[in-house]
Amino acid sequence: MRRPTSMSEKRNICGSRLTTACAVMGVCISSNLQASGFAVPELSATGIGTANALVANPVDRGAVPYNPAALAFHDESWLSVGSLLIGPEFSVDTANGSGDSAGANWLAAPMLQGAIKLNERWSAGFSVNAPFGLETRWKTNTFAPLSGSIPLPPPPHGPGGSVPASPQPTQSSLEILDVVPTLTYALSDELAVAVGADLYWVKSAKLNSSITQLEGDGTGLGFNLSALYAKGPFSAGINFHSSTTINVEGSYSVLNPTLLLIGALQPSQTAELDLDLPWRLQLGVRYAFTPALAVEVDWTRNGWNTFEAIQVTGDLNGAILFEDRNDWEDANAYRLGVTYQLQEQTQLRFGYAYDETPQGDAYFSARVPDNDRHLFGIGVGHRLGDGWQIEAGYMYVKFEERKYRSATLYLGDAEINGTDAIDGDYEANAHLIGLAVSRSFDAF
């Protein structure tokens, strides 16, 4: 491939690649504080209280989103409406000083579940949740090697002034909703299986940087399979969600017209990318030591190896605008949940989980400053009578500090991931609150 021979040619190529890199990464990546990568496994208020250890639970309504096969063990139809509130806090110390993400104080996601008992063998269910995404807002000049400007030739040979040496990411956000219809069949009194679909909708994906903006949305389709065995005080469950590719289509626009005049940026246009979501496998066992006390242990495997690269295509000429490498690895999570029936109407919940990060040092990204983390949950459920039930859960998420130092020099090229441009000490934590109200109805 021919190399650029002049300084202006180098500048144009570098500016175009850098801006596109910043823009497209903002569409599909957000910093997440609850699970490995940018996953959000909290699907119910019950799950928040038990640190998501519910895949083997045949009793509680809030366990159904984690294992739809549990519907076979419920004698009633019911509907649950709730919300997940997330308060993230994360910061980085770099050569430019200390920087905090200026994201929204609290973010909200839906938690909606329902069950219909069709007959003694068949049940239908659905849920709506937000299994992926969050938001980051880094201030300009957080990272020193990405700061600065390039002087432009003065008139009459150029427009004069200067342009940013590299795009400064400001806001990156991603909202994904998953609508999950399922069908459950009881093979026997002790064993049930379920099959369902994952209807993903990228409700909002956007980036604001110092010089560009990209917004988009899209849809994708996957499937899920689950099974649950329960006999006496013992139960065991399995749940699998397939990997999914979501086609994201959006509009790419340039905020600095000077960069268009000097040819440093691609013109505003529509573009698209394929966002690969990981497969998820959950296994769990639960044992009721007494009528009041039950303990569950779960293992989760997230197939992040599907998240290898991001490739964005412009619609003007079909050319690949940018290809970014992530090269993540599959990651495990280990969960412990405890439920205690304090009274006939009131249940207490406790949980702890340890989630591994899929992100190594080779392609570490400041947009997803991920690391291993600890999750602590507590919650309560209370039956009010006449089929009504209220639930609440609180979770604290603590990241292990990540002191990232790279031996790969940042040379002003498009590849920022894994370079010393984003060296720093990263810290993060989050507060999660789940609230839900449900009501049961007479079965068939």
pLDDT for residue 4: 36
Nearest CA to 273 among 8, 7, 6, 27? Answer: 27
What the block records as the tokens of 291 is 């009528």
**392 token code pair:** 């609440």
Whole-number Å distance between alpha carbons of 152 and 249: 34
Dihedral through CA 334, CA 378, CA 295, CA 71, nearest 10? -90
What is d(CA 299, CA 284) in angstroms, rounded to the nearest whole number?
6
Q: Specify the length of the chain in residues.
A: 444
What pLDDT is recorded for position 17? 37
The CATH code of the domain that includes 306 is: 2.40.160.60
Q: Confidence band (pLDDT; 50, 70, 90) for 3?
A: very low
Residue type (1 letter), 31: S
Mean pLDDT: which of 165-169, 261-265, 429-433 is highest?
A: 429-433
How would residue 91 be classed by pLDDT, with cut points 50, 70 and 90? confident
Q: Per the domain annotation, does 270 fall within a domain?
A: yes
> Structure tokens of 12?
């144009």
Number of domains in the chain: 1
Average pLDDT over residues 37-47: 88
Give the global pTM.
0.84
Residue 371 lies in a domain: yes
The mean pLDDT of 171-183, rounded to a whole number, is 88
pLDDT above 70: residue 443: no
- Residue 2 located in a structural domain: no
Confidence of residue 28 (pLDDT cuts 50, 70, 90): very low
Range picked from 141-155, 161-175, 283-297, 326-340 for highest mean pLDDT: 283-297
Q: Answer whether 54's CB lies under 8 Å from 67's CB.
A: yes
Q: Give the model confidence (pLDDT) of 297-344 as tens digits.
A: 999 999 988 887 777 788 887 777 666 677 889 999 999 999 999 999
Confidence band of 118 (pLDDT split at 50, 70, 90): very high
In a domain, 297, yes or no: yes
Distance CA 230, CA 203 (A): 38
- 1 assigned to some structural domain: no
Specify if 52 maps to a domain. Answer: yes
Kindly report the average pLDDT of the chain as a whole number. Answer: 84
Supply the pLDDT for residue 181: 97
pLDDT at 327: 83
pLDDT in tens, 358-372: 988 888 887 777 889
In a domain, 369, yes or no: yes
Buried/exposed 262-288: b ≥16 CB within 10 Å, e otherwise: bebbbeeeebbbbbbbbbbbbbbbbeb
Return the pLDDT at 414.
64
Residue 15 has a pLDDT of 41
Question: Is residue 151 domain-resident?
Answer: yes
Q: Where are the beta strands (DSSP E) in 268-387?
A: 269-277, 279-288, 293-303, 309-314, 320-325, 331-341, 346-355, 373-385
pLDDT 10s digits, 61-76: 999 999 999 999 999 9
Structural domain containing residue 195:
7-441
Tell whether the model's pLDDT for residue 413 goes beyond 70.
no
